[in-house]
Every structure is written in C-alpha cells, then in structure tokens.
Amino acid sequence: MDESKLLAILDKLTPTSFLDPNESDVVKNTLMLCDDAKMNEDHSASIKLLYSNTISYEAIDADVIKQRFSDGIHRMEEKEDTTDVTHLAYWKPSSTKVNFPIENALNHDPNSYWQSDGKQPHRMDIYFSKFMNLKYLAFYLSQFQDESYTPREIKIYYGNGPNDCRLFVHVIIQSVNGWFLIPTDTARCVDMEVTVTELNCRFLRFEFPFNFEHGKDTHLRGMKILAKANKKSVEMDGWLKTSTMENNFLNAFPLK
C-alpha cells in the first residue's frame, strides 16, 4: 500500500492533532538564575537572597554558614504575611541514604542533611491534605559545605498530584551559600490566557536533575514552604492580644 494512503488511514484512526501537546495544559515556565555573586538582598530579580553577600567565597567559614542559616530562618519567621506550612505536608523523597532522612532537611539544623541514594534526577514529592495558597518556596544550599552534592538545577512542579503536575519554574544555580526565596507571584508562569501569579495547590515536586562538578547524589540542608497568612487568623490573634491587654488592665484596677 502506498505510504501516503497508509498515513491517511492512520490519521483517521488516531488524528495526529491528538498526539500534539495540548497547549492549554502546557505551562510556559520562566527560567530563573540564582547567583549570589551578582545579587544581593535588595536585588530586583525574582529570587530573593536572605543573606548579605558582602564577603568573598574564600572568606566563608563554618561560623558564617551557621549565622546565615539561623538569620534566614529568623527573617522568614518575622514575615507577618506568611505562615510556615512545611510540617503540614507529607514529604516523600525518590530515594534516601541510610541515616540521612528527609527530616534532616526540615529540622533547622545546618549540620544535618537529607541525602539521595539513587539515579538522577532526584525528586522530592510534597503532599498536602488540602489546597494551600503558597507565597514562597525557600531553599538553603551551600556549595561551601556540600561541594559536588549541591544541586545545580531545581525544577518545581505543582498540581493536585504527581499524575497531573505541571512545571512552574526552572531554577539554575550559579553560586549560593545560604537561604533564598522563590516568590510565587513573580515567577510569571503563563497557562495560555491565564497568568499564574500564585500557587494554589495540594502537591509540589522539587526535582534535582544535575549537581555541581557532575556529582551524583544530592544534599539538602534546609527547605521551607510558606503560605499566605490567613487574614482571619491574624485578626483573631490581634483580638486575643488586645483582649489580654484589656483584661490585664481591668485586673490591675478591680471594681470595689
């Protein structure tokens, strides 16, 4: 049978248009660059550093790293418009080295870490029991501490679950030794006519395709997920504080 006729028959059975990617399901992601040699805390780039890069790489030592780690956590805790939902999620790594579980990357200790133990790309799947309106995704990476175990790229996916997740942003790491934030409202992911300015999802996937110096396994020492603060909770918290102050005032001057 003539090849053109055969192709025409096959096209009727399964139109080639069905095999093409569905543009309505494709997120046009933004590529982000993280390079603390060219950035600072006030840099206008989408990625926000949580440390001042005022010293050279050669001057970095264990004390500097420890201070940057604790300072970054403190600055995230000070954000009044967010709430930490890291521990509300179920974290499922693609692999884990014995004695280096995922809890090591969530315990606020710069000296502990999760380590992968498998083929690249390494993945971290994160499940929430309900939809979360996410504002920041935070990572702590240190080339000083982890060298070839440091991820060179991070791909972030979001959705309802692993079967329908879509690429949100692709981060290229050039140089980093501390915490950095990825604001969800500046990633500018576009799904056809809808501009995605925030992540409202039940599932996240962090994928680590490559490491520095062609390293195979990955170290992660810190990750956080910050959601938008519930306005009602904030108002209630303020009411409780006010009520407590009023009660203290009344107790100081009891009625006779």
- CATH of the domain spanning 33-52+59-228, picked from 3.30.2040.10, 3.90.220.20, 2.60.120.260, 3.40.50.300: 2.60.120.260
Q: Could you state, in order of their start, the residue ranges of all structural domains in the chain?
A: 33-52+59-228
Q: Which residue has the tokens 């990750």?
A: 223
Q: Does residue 70 contact residue 109 with C-beta atoms inside 8 Å?
A: no
pLDDT of residue 17: 46
Express each pLDDT in 148-163 by its tens digit: 999 999 999 999 999 9
For every one of its 256 residues, what pLDDT tens digit does the chain have, with 9 covering 90 and above? Answer: 665 665 566 566 655 444 443 333 444 446 777 877 776 554 445 788 888 877 888 888 999 999 999 999 999 999 888 999 999 999 999 999 999 999 999 999 999 999 999 999 999 999 999 999 999 999 999 999 999 999 999 999 999 999 989 998 899 999 999 999 998 876 554 443 445 556 899 999 999 999 999 999 999 999 999 999 876 544 444 444 434 444 554 455 454 4
Phi and psi at 57, nearest 5°, equal: -60, -35
pLDDT of residue 196: 55
**Alpha-carbon span 113 to 106, nearest angstrom:** 9
3-state secondary structure of 233: helix
pLDDT of residue 247: 52
Please tell me whether the peptide bond between 121 and the residue prior to it is cis, using omega within 30 degrees of 0.
yes
DSSP output for 1-28? --HHHHHHHHHHHS-HHHHS--GGG--B
pLDDT of residue 208: 97
pLDDT of residue 32: 79
Question: Judging by beta carbons within 10 Å of its beta carbon (0-12, 13-18, 19+), is residue 174 exposed, middle or buried?
Answer: middle
